[in-house]
Structure 1
């Protein structure tokens, strides 16, 4: 017995957008016993598995083309206009669980596009949210993950800048500053979700308070990879796990303190299960 003192970070776990999507899915599954979801409802295999056992079926956009007369859930990341158009054509009832923060951002980008502004989006290439944002511009906006992707000398002298909602606030404003220093007039739209962006600051404090940090996240979660790195920078004894099976006893010593935290896509029940497991070591 290691006699570990284990605490869970109260700020970790699902953001409100993910909570909203999962609650909607659970309500329909209780009523109908089956529901399609376009893409993983959350980037966490354990949570997806739990919902699949209740009747959730994950589909991709290719499969969507062949489905008719059914209910399909749109997850928190949102979707481009083409998905809504296809749903109309195929008599699909869309259960729209798009995060309100994402929907607001989509609307603002659409307004900018209608005004024929030159739109740049700071975000991850191919990310589901970014695909939805690009769709508001008929895929005419420029997406970049890092300033190195852009030729600052060739950039238009006036641009409208947006960001994926889960990006770092500090990095977003650093980008703004560099663009302005290079003579580019930037119409800045800060649409970053503070519930997500503040997690890194909270975790920096949390990670320093324990001997060992167990970071719980799905391997597909971009947010998880970023926040794990934040914890690792503060506490070298930080370990990434996706399930109880990943936990190794050799990480711990007698009477040590252990902090459990996770991404915005990490379910609290999973962190609680890992806590119970550690307390039995």
Structure 2
């Protein structure tokens, strides 16, 4: 069984921008927040917004207070004016691609041109566009409707940004031949074109296509329509509960795509559940997937990676190759990561639905394991020396207090920071520092370590951990924003964060290259350099290709830490 996720599946730029704007407003403002009409056409996202206290305003009252966001589809200009006159602060979240079409229509309407919109008359975007046509707008959804219109002296032809590209190409060709005096503009969003092209390719190369998205979403319905025009079996669902797995059982390859208003968590949930239901067709691969999932959800793989990295850092510092410090690192990382995941269930509901469910079901057992592991780590640290114990105790207390509200409510009217986790970007940086200390500084505290090699080991570990943490923060950006967590990628943006990760990994390679002339053995230098080199390749590959399942991606990144210990053990 082959399952492929479309590269173009999920939020387009305009939808992501609108959702980010409304969530940022909710996370930073105490005033009532509304969206004028549904922000996007996805019921799960709208339900999520209501849980954040963001409600829908369907009519404009005479008087109002608070913030109102204009949805991604846009609205007629008179509606925006009425909202401001009613007393609302208005944030315009109209997609920039739609704004371009609005400006084209306004420009030519002012010159007396008729406006012909290829789109659904009752679609919110088209309703908004008609508001700029100064009463001389016409909508069509088929070629015969277009030819039935009177021949205007002057007309501008545009398309709803999510319109079927094949229909618009046909109308453009007709205009070039029979209406050459019409002004025709290519206004279908590039994202829409790419989605439709990709779904045609996927439908031609797969037995079945699952299209995920709201039934009121025009672009999602058209994706299903395009796929259905091929030989592939096609089903359009809003949630994975609607899938007929009996109908899918006989297919050898399934493609999953999603509309521009479908969030990542629904796509991820669909992919994982389809894979689980169809595992009986490939028992070996299914068993491997379950083992991978167990090691990832329980954080055992990450803990083993911490132990391996600690061993490698001890080799770099030429310390005795005892396993006690590796065990301390494993126990500490396991304890802190499990506790962090327990507090992160809200964001994991959107980022990792499977993991969120796992932690809800086994919360008492996991809490006991985390506390026991933390205590065992402290005991082992005490056996190595009082200083090691004290450092680890402070780190553990900081980790335990990360999610706790340390500053009482009411200390300042605009107070936003009450917990360590509320400090913007703190998660990525604190995890990096904690790993650096436990993997490289603790082993050197009670032994004679050359400061140069301790610094090299610390920076090497910190570079790997920062890159790994920041990468997963990028992948979790939607859920973290919903939960109100200000991670580094939310502050910097996705593109800048990827650039920063690449620079950090390259700097780690340069660090090792500089350590070789300073006395680090040639073989150790280049063996350890393989790990940041591999991570650089993986981050680049996974950043470009969204078709890799989340479990495979996470397993490969986390496994790279195991390689550090393997490389060090080779010597």
TM-score above 0.5: yes
| Cα deviation, residue 6, structure 1 | 2.7
Aligned match of 1:264: 260
Q: In the aligned structure 2, how far is the partner of 1:153 from the partner of 1:91?
A: 41
SS at match of 1:208: helix
> Following the alignment from structure 2 to structure 1, what is the Cα–Cα distance between the partners of residues 85 and 100?
25
* Aligned residue among 33, 36, 52 for 1:35: 33
Change (3 A) 1:92 1:50: same
Runs of 5+ unmatched residues, structure 1 = none
Distance 2:144 2:212 in 1: 31
CA shift, 1:71, in A, is 0.6
1:59 aligns with 2:67: no
User: What CA deviation, in whole Å up to 9, does each residue of 1:104-144 have, x standing for no partner?
Assistant: 11112111111112222222112111111111123322222
**Residues 144 and 257 (structure 1), Cα distance of their counterparts in 2 relative to 1, 3 Å cut:** closer
Q: Which residue in 2 is equivalent to 1:225? A: 221
Q: TM-score with structure 2 length normalisation?
A: 0.46
1:134-173 counterparts in 2 under 5 A? Answer: 134-150=130-146, 152=148, 154-173=150-169
Distance 2:251 2:102 in 1: 50
RMSD: 2.1
Residue aligning to 1:46: 44
Find the counterpart in structure 1 of residue 86 from structure 2. 90
Structure 2 Cα separation of the partners of residues 147 and 140 of structure 1: 20
Q: Is the aligned partner of 1:206 residue 2:213?
A: no
**CA distance in 2 between partners of 1:222 and 1:174 (Å):** 19
Q: 1:181 to 1:269 in 2, by over 3 A?
A: same
CA–CA separation in structure 2 for the residues paired with 1:183 and 1:193: 24
Return the alpha-carbon distance in structure 1 between the equivalents of residues 80 and 265 of structure 2. 33
User: What is the CA-CA distance between 1:97 and the residue it aligns to?
Assistant: 0.7
2: CA distance between counterparts of 1:154 and 1:30?
51
Is contact 1:8–1:272 with CA below 8 Å preserved after alignment?
no
Whether the aligned pair in 1 keeps the contact of 2:207 and 2:232 (CA below 8 Å) is no
Q: Which has the higher helix share?
A: 2
With over 3 angstroms needed to count, the CA separation of the structure-2 counterparts of 1:153 and 1:236, relative to structure 1, is closer
Report if aligned partners of 2:6, 2:198 keep a CA contact under 8 Å in 1.
Answer: no
Distance 1:81 1:39 in 2: 15
Map of 1:24 onto structure 2: 21
The answer to whether the 8 A contact 1:5-1:279 is kept is no
**Which structure is richer in relative contact order (CA contacts within 8 A, separation 6 or more)?**
1
Point out where structure 2 has 5 or more consecutive residues left out of the alignment: 278-571
Identify which of 258, 270, 274 aligns with 1:274.
270
The separation in 1 between residues aligned to 2:232 and 2:63, in whole angstroms, is: 48
Query: What secondary structure, in the 3-state scheme, does the structure 2 residue paired with 1:225 have?
Result: helix
- How far off its partner does 1:191 sit? 1.9
Deviation at 1:210?
2.7
Question: Does the C-alpha gap of structure 1 residues 109 and 154 become closer, same or farther in structure 2, counting only changes over 3 Å?
Answer: closer
Q: TM-score, normalised by structure 1?
A: 0.90
- In 2 relative to 1, CA 135–99 (structure 1 residues): closer, same or farther, beyond 3 Å? same
Alpha-carbon distance between aligned partners in 1 of 2:210 and 2:248, rounded to the nearest angstrom: 11
* Displacement after TM superposition at 1:263 (Å): 1.2
Check whether the contact 1:12–1:261 (CA below 8 A) recurs between aligned residues: yes
- The count of residues paired between Structure 1 and Structure 2 equals 276
Of the structure 1 ranges 259-268 and 182-191, higher mean CA displacement relative to structure 2 is found in 182-191
> Is 1:11–2:18 an aligned residue pair?
no
Quote the offset at 1:184 in angstroms: 5.7
Counterparts of 1:93 and 1:125 in 2: how far apart (Å)?
A: 29
Larger radius of gyration: 2
Note the alpha carbon deviations across 1:137-191, whole angstroms, 9 max, x for none.
2332222222322455842244221222222333223213324544562121222
